[in-house]
C-alpha cells in the first residue's frame, strides 16, 4: 500500500505517529493520530506495539490542553482520529484537502471519516506557508488532493515530515529500481504524488517518511 507497483504482495510493517515539534513558541503537533478502533474498522488490521497519545504527551510533560496548533498533513482517518481530544488547538489544513474531504470521490471515500474532523477549529491555508521562524508547510499533493508536508529547521539542517503516506523505500528505492523515488501506493494523482515525493527529497537534509517503522524506537529526530 505504500509503494506503487513495488513490493507487491510482500508483508510490511508501518508506523502511525503523532509528531511534536520542540523549540517553537507555540506548542505544535503534526497530525493527531489514529486509534486502534479506526484501524480495525477502516483497514481491518490490528495495531501492535501501541503507545497511547496520553503517554506520549505526558513523557514530554504536556497535556492535551497545552497544544496550540496541530498541522494536519491530510484528513485520512489515521492522521486525524484523535483531533477532537485537543480542546485549545487550531488545526492547520490546506483548503483543497478540506473541500475534498467534505465530499470525497467514491474511490477513496473509505479513508475519510467525517466524524473525526467535522467541527474542528480549522485554520485554512492555500499553498506553501510559513508558520513561524522554524516551521513552514509545503504543498505536496498527490497522495490526497491537498496534502501538505512540514519543513522544520534543525541543528542538522532542514527536516521534512512527508505529508504523503510513505516509508523509507519511497525516498530511497531499493535496487533494481533506478527511479529517484517511488510513488506512494495510495494516490489521487500518480504524477503529482511522484513529484511531491521528489520535491521533499530534494529540499530536505532529513526526510521523515510518514509511516516508516524506524521511528517506533526513536524519541527524537535528529
Ligand atoms: Zn497515512
Q: How far is the CA of 187 from the centre of ligand 1 (A)?
A: 11
Residue closest to 135 by CA, chosen among 14, 9, 10, 24: 24
3-state secondary structure of 91: strand
CA of 107 to the centre of ligand 1 (A): 16
In angstroms, what is the span from residue 143 Cα to ligand 1's centroid?
9
Sort 105 into a burial class: Cβ within 10 Å, 0-12 / 13-18 / 19+: exposed
Q: What whole-number distance in Å separates Cα of residue 188 and Cα of residue 177? A: 23
For ligand 1, the distance from its centroid to the CA atom of residue 64, given in whole angstroms, is: 22
**CA dihedral of residues 172, 17, 74, 149 (deg, nearest 10):** -50
Rounded to the nearest angstrom, the distance between the alpha carbon of 188 and the centre of ligand 1 is: 14
Residue 197 has what DSSP assignment? Answer: H
Distance CA 28, CA 99 (A): 24
15: CA distance to ligand 1 center in Å?
Answer: 9
pTM, whole model, 2 decimals? 0.97
How many C-beta atoms surround the C-beta of residue 15 within 10 A?
Answer: 16
Q: Which of 164, 169, 146, 153 is nearest to 200 (CA)?
A: 164
What strands, in cross-sheet order, belong to the sheet with 157-161?
A: 129-130, 135-139, 148-154, 157-161, 206-208
Cα of 33 to ligand 1 centre, how many Å? 9
Residue that is written with C-alpha cell 494516490 in the block: 187
Integer Cα distance of 98 and 21 in angstroms: 23
Cα of 76 from ligand 1 centre, angstroms: 6
pLDDT 10s per residue in the chain (222 long)? 899 999 999 988 999 999 999 999 999 999 999 999 999 999 998 999 999 999 999 999 999 999 999 999 999 999 999 999 999 999 999 999 999 999 999 999 999 999 999 999 999 999 999 999 999 999 999 999 999 999 999 999 999 999 999 999 999 999 999 999 999 999 999 999 999 999 999 999 999 999 999 999 899 999
Amino acid at each position: 500500500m505504500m509503494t506503487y507497483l513495488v513490493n507487491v504482495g510482500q508483508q510490511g510493517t508501518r508506523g502511525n505517529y503523532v509528531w511534536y515539534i520542540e523549540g517553537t513558541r507555540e506548542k505544535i503537533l503534526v497530525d493527531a493520530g489514529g486509534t486502534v478502533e479506526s484501524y480495525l474498522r477502516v483497514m481491518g488490521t490490528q495495531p501492535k506495539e501501541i503507545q497511547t497519545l496520553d503517554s506520549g504527551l505526558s513523557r514530554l510533560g504536556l497535556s492535551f490542553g497545552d497544544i496550540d496548533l496541530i498541522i494536519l498533513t491530510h484528513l485520512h482517518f489515521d492522521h486525524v482520529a484523535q483531533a477532537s481530544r485537543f480542546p485549545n488547538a487550531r488545526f492547520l489544513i490546506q483548503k483543497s484537502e478540506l473541500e475534498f474531504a467534505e465530499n470525497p470521490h467514491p474511490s477513496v471515500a473509505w479513508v475519510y471519516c467525517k466524524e473525526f474532523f467535522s467541527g474542528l477549529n480549522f485554520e485554512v491555508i492555500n499553498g506553501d506557508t510559513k508558520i513561524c521562524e522554524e516551521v513552514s508547510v509545503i504543498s505536496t499533493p498527490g497522495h490526497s488532493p491537498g496534502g501538505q508536508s512540514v519543513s522544520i529547521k534543525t541543528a542538522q539542517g532542514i527536516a521534512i515530515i512527508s505529508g504523503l503516506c510513505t516509508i523509507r523505500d519511497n525516498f530511497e528505492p531499493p535496487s533494481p529500481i533506478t527511479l529517484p523515488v517511488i510513488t506512494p501506493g495510495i494516490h489521487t494523482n500518480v504524477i503529482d504524488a511522484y513529484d511531491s515525493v521528489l520535491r521533499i527529497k530534494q529540499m530536505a537534509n532529513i526526510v521523515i517518511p510518514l509511516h516508516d517503522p524506524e521511528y517506533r524506537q526513536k524519541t527524537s529526530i535528529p
